[in-house]
Amino acid sequence: MMNVLIIGSGGREHALAWKVAQSSRLTKLYTAPGNPGTSLCGENVLLDVSNHDDVVRFCKEKQIDLVIIGPEIPLADGLTDSLSTNSIRCFGPSQAAAQIEASKVFSKNFMARHHIPTARYATFTRLDEALSYLDHVDYPIVIKASGLAAGKGVILPDTLEESEATLKSILIEKTFGDAGEEVVIEERLSGQEVSLMVFTDGKSIAPMIPAQDHKRLLDGDRGPNTGGMGAYAPAPIFTKDLLNEALDSVLKPAIDGLRSEGTLFVGVLYAGLILTENGISVLEFNARFGDPETQVVLPLLETDLLDIADACVDGNLKDINILWKNDAAVCLVLASKGYPEKVEIDKPVVFGELPENVICFHAGTKMENEKVFTSGGRVFGLTAWANDIESAIDDVYSNVKNVSFDGMQYRKDIAYRALEGSK
């Protein structure tokens, strides 16, 4: 039996808490800081997760057997290392291993060292060198701040002027602060994107169901990029052959490569893949569960998540058999008016009754006087799972009426690509 602490406060953490709460091995679940959704699955605790001593003290006091870290910042900050030093078991990579996400320069150089397919690139700290490089490339480019920038550090410029202005703003004006001390300039690729996450103990890997998310604000993949307006799994475009190819050419070499460099990666490794005319290429690695992908992947997981996390931390992943439902899941993000620019918050939320195969994961909400109010841009991930993707889409959209707040906006075409793929 286990006491578990989940770190984080978004839709991903509500999905994690919801899944962990179903475990027959759970004694008590805490989420720090959590949200009104996680408070339905366990107890929320107000901990400053950047204060590692406080987290360690809490874990000792409450006899926490396992910590699960959701977001990238505590990982990049070395929370896993602080917990491990104090003999507290943690599902999530060390600071050194989390560099695969926290530093795009590290990540690109690592991929080059281990022959993992990725776009051609160069890295710069000096503006003059970056600008003169632009004169030498004869293909469209993407500019990325190397450090963590909450998903905003990737710019796809359309003209030379835009590229120059972007480089100046990152390297000189420091738009992304320290995250922009170094930049990656890489070739712009085209194709469909797939999110493939694997559980790993640092030696073996176990893939989750591949997912696709919808990053643009508006229907038909138009409008500005967002943190994600919805997701679905499985992704029919990602065939069994492509999955095996990705495991052999990307995920296994990444885990083996890190280990060969003296860094064991324990937790979830997420590969953001693009399916180009010339094959699979890696856009990014994340050192954690994806959001919103986790909201569609965990409802499809049959096996107890605590059994998997435990096996990863103990280095026994190969001994467990992970089972998945033969279903499909769809997550529709319900966002505030004005998202992703200037959002309107503090709106009261009214809930109706949801069927058993639909859950409303909280992301940007808060509780005041026992009532739920909106507190962020992406407020909920309304998620349904069913025998097939068509039914899951129907179940999500027919239940939108059961969650309402002033100014609510959402896309009307989440998972439409999967339908096209299955026809």
Applying CB under 6 A, which residues contact ligand GLY? 151, 213, 228, 286, 290-291, 293
291 binds, options ligand GLY, ligand AMP, none, Cβ within 5 to 8 A by partner type: ligand GLY
Contact 37, 17 (CB under 8 A): yes
Nearest distance in Å: CB 173, ligand GLY: 25
Whole-number Å distance between alpha carbons of 227 and 179: 18
Q: In the complex, which residue's CB is closest to ligand AMP?
A: 284
Residue position matching structure tokens 């075409």? 413
Nearest distance in Å: CB 103, ligand AMP: 12
119 binds, options ligand AMP, ligand GLY, none, Cβ within 5 to 8 A by partner type: ligand AMP
286 versus 357: smaller Cβ distance to ligand GLY: 286
Residues sharing a CB contact under 8 Å with residue 318, sequence separation 6 or more, in sequence order: 201, 203, 204
Phi–psi pair at 302, nearest 5 degrees: -85, -45
32 versus 273: smaller Cβ distance to ligand AMP: 273
55 versus 282: smaller Cβ distance to ligand AMP: 282
Contact 269, 198 (CB under 8 A): yes
Whole-number Å distance between alpha carbons of 153 and 145: 5
Point out which residues bind ligand AMP (CB under 6 A).
Answer: 119, 142, 144, 154, 186-189, 193, 215, 272, 283-284
Whole-number Å distance between alpha carbons of 216 and 204: 34
Whole-number Å distance between alpha carbons of 282 and 306: 29
Q: How many residues can be counted in the chain?
A: 423
Nearest distance in Å: CB 296, ligand GLY: 11
154 binds, options ligand AMP, ligand GLY, none, Cβ within 5 to 8 A by partner type: ligand AMP
320 binds, options ligand AMP, ligand GLY, none, Cβ within 5 to 8 A by partner type: none
Per DSSP bridges, beta strands 43-44 and 66-69 are unpaired
Whole-number Å distance between alpha carbons of 200 and 247: 12
64 versus 280: smaller Cβ distance to ligand GLY: 280
Nearest distance in Å: CB 361, ligand AMP: 21
DSSP strands (E only) in 125-237: 141-145, 154-155, 183-187, 192-200, 205-207, 212-213, 216-218, 222-225, 230-233
Reduced to 3 states (helix: H, G, I; strand: E, B; else coil), residue 203 is coil
CB atoms within 10 A of CB 400: 15
65 versus 213: smaller Cβ distance to ligand GLY: 213
Nearest distance in Å: CB 196, ligand AMP: 13
282 versus 313: smaller Cβ distance to ligand AMP: 282
286 binds, options ligand GLY, ligand AMP, none, Cβ within 5 to 8 A by partner type: ligand GLY
Reduced to 3 states (helix: H, G, I; strand: E, B; else coil), residue 123 is strand
149 versus 312: smaller Cβ distance to ligand AMP: 149
Nearest distance in Å: CB 274, ligand AMP: 6
Nearest distance in Å: CB 151, ligand GLY: 6
188 versus 371: smaller Cβ distance to ligand AMP: 188
Contact 31, 6 (CB under 8 A): yes
17 versus 197: smaller Cβ distance to ligand AMP: 197
Whole-number Å distance between alpha carbons of 330 and 308: 23
Helix, strand, coil shares of the chain, percent, nearest 5, are 35, 30, 40
* One-letter identity of residue 227: G
Q: Quick one: which H or E segment has residue 293? A: helix 293-297
Nearest distance in Å: CB 126, ligand GLY: 29
Whole-number Å distance between alpha carbons of 34 and 307: 22
42 versus 292: smaller Cβ distance to ligand GLY: 292
293 binds, options ligand AMP, ligand GLY, none, Cβ within 5 to 8 A by partner type: ligand GLY
Nearest distance in Å: CB 124, ligand AMP: 16
Nearest distance in Å: CB 58, ligand AMP: 32
